[in-house]
Structure 1
Amino acid sequence: MPDLQHSLLAWIAEVVERDAGQVEEIALSQSSAWSLREGALRHETGRYFNVVGLEWVKAGEIRQAPFIEQREVGTLGLIARPGRSGLDFLMHAKAEPGNVGGVQLAPTCQATASNADRVHGGTPPPFSREFLGAKEGILADSLQSEQGSRFLGKRNRNVLLLAPDWEDDPGPLHRWISFAVLRDLLAQDFLVNTDARSVLCTSDWPTLAGRAPFPGEDRFSRELCASFHAPVRSGVLEEVFSALERARAASPAPRPVPVDAMAGFGFDLESQPVMSDGAVAVRQIRVRSRTREVAEWDQPILDLAAPQLLDLPCRRQEGLLLFGYRPCWEPGLLAGAELAPGSAGTLDGTVRLEVRQSDEGGRFHRDIATYRVLDLGTAEPEEGMLWLTLAEVHALMPRGVFNNEARSATSLLLSLA
């Protein structure tokens, strides 16, 4: 296995060299495609996405922030075929301007509707046609949200497609990777991107592995196995949906505000960044890439000043391992509220798993989030948190109730599956 991992890392390094990616920050006035129109940053075609302003009231305080408005449903498609043990996956070594390291492992196809329609005038995203109207061989298919703290109303179709007779040589940017290898990579920093984690999480875990998951002999793996095979408890799933409805009912109603007139944000067409309040900035970048559909483009990108720490806590109740999620309202969620990781670094416990991610490198500028699975032992449950077995998490995953951060945190558990 170490030799296979070394080979994959060498391949990614080759793609980085082939891509020869360059990212240059420019002023918005230097862009020929993007401009400030009707209070938002918009592309000349009216496609891709807009950068808009939102305002809402929380805890009696008026809050404003820039959001990426991208109402198109994108495609996150992963092609799989039967392997020696479980499935093999056709992974894309994809360059994104906001990725730490430049290139990370992505699903076979990661495409916005605008790119699939070739609005950019370049080639279509790799393998995007395979997922258009596909009906046979679909192992998983669900709509899932993007980060509701920075995207407005954005969802992606997460698809796992079985193609038993797929070609062995898919080209220099794609490679077949077995689940046995891929699961180990899920615990490595800046390697498997957020979108690939989402597709894996929302698929059937025993199908991915070709066996019952969590076969390890250590105590934590045995607890994971027991939690996964435990019967779904009566009323638990209903309580999840009820808790989310309560969170939605109590949530504020965001309203649009002009992006160039937001309190606390400077805005300047001639400067870099375009706007910032010290905590979040909108930058305009020019990108050059030899492995993407077009060789050069420019775009806005969001940049958080501080890294994030997101913990998925676990605890034991009557000997059964449970995982803590919190109903969370976010301004950009189409559903209003979804389940988030239970803690933002506020609890004390034993770190079982940890990984650093640069989330959504196509829209966020090297924004680093650290995801951890935090073992609280037998601690008493925190108020407002929902405690679920892995069987219950697995049953809920395809139903679009976990936010992007919750799916990324949960994907860490698949490194032991």
Structure 2
Amino acid sequence: MMSTTQPMQNMGALSHLRVLDLSRVLAGPWATQNLADLGAEVIKVERPGSGDDTRGWGPPWIRDDKGEYTHDSTYYAAANRGKRSITVDIASAEGQKLIKELAAISDVVVENYKIGDLKRYGLDYEALSAVNPRLVYCSITGYGQTGPSAHKPGYDFVFQAQGGLMSITGERDEVPGGGAQKVGIAIADVITGMYASVAILAALNHREVSGRGQYIDMALLDCLVALGGNQVTGYFSSGKVPFRYGNAHASLVPYQVFQTADGSMVVAVGNDAQWQKYCQAIERPDLASDERWIKVTGRITGREVLIPELEKTMRSRTSASWIEKLEAFGVPCGPINNYQQVFEDPQVTHRQLRVDMPTEDGGSVSTIASPLRLMGTPVQYQRPPPKLGSSTESVLKTLLNKTDDELEAYRHAKVI
């Protein structure tokens, strides 16, 4: 039996799969980058001349071999590692034919066009599954394929508001700086990309049983609402609408930011045993033995009395001093790092979470490593974020057997 830690001849877990990526911006590209990291061949189809919208979302920009800024943004680089880029005008009849030919030899199609757009081009699931019944076809839209809002465009900021996330993010209205806040990343797009990856893999697995692919309808609003599972389930049970706790936790106390003698830090007491250890570490046996605080329920209902006592004690030492002392007692805690500090953290360095890749023009780009750690088929970083259309000729020649004359005719007609 093969060792669970022995790579399987440097194969990716999905190296037997081909993905046709018709998506752009973030949610779709995030999903297809996951598949590419796992070894799938991902062919990114872009608009001739301009490509993915995010290529122009700079600064910051990727640098070339001379250290000069290119026309591709780091935003684009963050979600398009591991892919090959081809340019095809899908509004043209010849372009549509090329996409159908590629779909016929692909396992997955991912797209995020507005509802009805690809049907108009003859590239919807019904059309492509007719030429490839085993095709898994994933559509990503803001509101899904059905419902009264299905026709609307969708943006992360809107979904963070409409989907409830901003109602529980930020400080309470009555405290300084209070009010609804968005999460600092495009969480609706990222979480939809992750859910889409799971759905695609599930459909591929079922294909092994049924012999057929299927259609997947992914919506950013659905995924953002699903992200609120803990709070929403509590609301369903109690009827009480969740509200903003700032950096505190609705169900755990203390679980928040504390000001220290030289800044601030996080303490995350996750259970009653850790509460006792925390009290030992901060030398507050009076709090440890107080019947009001022994159980988490009492700490939750009495937080307005308890927290000021803890705040007073936490301000007596520096953050570094507290972290050393709390960790010695096994109490979860940590500094509040900016991203420079994150990538100076010994654990982050050890886990090699920064990946430096040479670009196609001789420059370099740094991206964040995939957190998917498969021991037998490890993630590999074989392709940098591609230049626009850099693989058009090789893909059409190798996969579709197009001749030089045919390629020249496509160029002349501006199909590619």
Common fold, TM-score beyond 0.5? no
TM-score (norm: length of structure 2):
0.24
Identify, as 1 or 2, the structure richer in strand. 1
Higher helix share: 2
TM-score (norm 1): 0.24
